[in-house]
Amino acid sequence: MKPSYRITQRARLLTASLALAFAGFAIAETNAPPAFLSVVTAHFAAWDRNHDGILATDELDALVADPRVAKQEAAAVAALKRASRSRTIKLPPLTLESIPALATNKPDTGSPDLARMYREGMTRLGNATHRELFASGLPKLETIHQGKLGNCFCLAPLGAMVHRNPKQVADLFTARGDGTYRVQLGKQAVLVTSPTDAELAMTASNEQDGIWVNLYEKAVGQARNEARPPAERAGSALDALARGGSAGTMLALITGHEITRFSFKFAKDPAVAGKEREAKLKELSDQLAAAAAAGRLMTCGTLKTTTPGLTPNHAYAVLDYSAKTDAVTLWNPHGGKFSPKGDPGLKNGYPEKDGVFELPVRDLVQQFSGMAFEVPEAPLHENPIPP
């Protein structure tokens, strides 16, 4: 006789409870929060919507998008969603038995650090108590901190725009009065719903200064998904956002203007030296001076940098250029701070506050791959996404 679903589910809950009891010492040793595992045990039956004992990708996506999933439950769902998206760790099927085992394993054993992910989600939700569009007036660059989606490519051009004209950024958003918002990305208007708690746990934090950054991220992901054929779309807007992309392409998207690129390959090529190298550096400095004077938006990106404080394979906003010092001012979407141990430079890094720091153009071309410049007089003729 086949056991009923209720009996089977009760058995799974009992198994999970025993697993948690026997794993108590491991939980303490690895700092896995009992709250996370308690949330999983309490809600798994409801999460498992097809009742097959496995929390599948589509079920996770539905939970992330569900506004009824809130607070600790949302942080737990966000942790599982982040873990399931990993490109380096292959997870077993997410069941009531496997999740406690994953949570109590040490991260260096090849398991995701669910404890850290849960804590990060709770911290972000604690910092998102103001759910207005703009909590304190116009957007501020210093409040933005990139989340856990690897989407520096879309935040860097946004940061450049905030620095140039915060009102222009504010004008991108329109509350429609029914819980939805219109986000204007260049020539394209995208309608998005207010971010759920699980979405807030994964996207950028804004220091309680409103949800506009999160709406922007959601709109970019949605636009990227809608631009692809159905068979190539990601499971959700945030999944589409997490695929990565080009900061230059995003710069074109949000401004509605064409861009030009300047490659720094010459700086790593030993065949380019002497007068030829100096000529390329002068050409770059001249372009930077002209763009800064005209208020044109600029972005750049690192390589596999070895300079402390610089993030490898990461997009930055170029905020300004000083002809006097031949140096650029950059903004890191992580919005952090850094103090070099020793004299500032390629060896020790550069002083950084709220993600903003300055470095010479000669150092820029060594550690970065290239730049993108806005061309306001050249409107886009077609949608630049997908990248």
pLDDT at 11 over 80: no
Q: What is the mean pLDDT of the chain?
A: 88
Q: What is the pLDDT of residue 13?
A: 47
**pLDDT 10s digits, 83-119:** 988 777 888 999 999 998 888 876 666 678 888 899 9
pLDDT at 24 over 70: no
Q: What is the pLDDT of residue 229?
A: 87
Q: Which CATH architecture has domain 257-379?
A: Alpha-Beta Complex (3.90)
Q: What is the pLDDT of residue 289?
A: 98
Q: Which position has the higher pLDDT, 6 or 219?
A: 219
Q: What is the pLDDT of residue 148?
A: 81
Backbone angles phi, psi at 72, to 5 degrees: -60, -40
Q: Which position has the higher pLDDT, 148 or 92?
A: 92
Lowest mean pLDDT among 76-85, 237-246, 261-270, 336-345: 237-246
Name residue 353's beta-bridge partners: 356
Q: What is the pLDDT of residue 387?
A: 54
Domain boundaries, the chain: 5-126, 148-245, 257-379
Instruction: Find out whether 53 and 12 touch, Cβ atoms under 8 Å.
Output: yes
Mean pLDDT of 359-382: 93
Mean pLDDT of 234-251: 89
pLDDT at 28 over 80: no
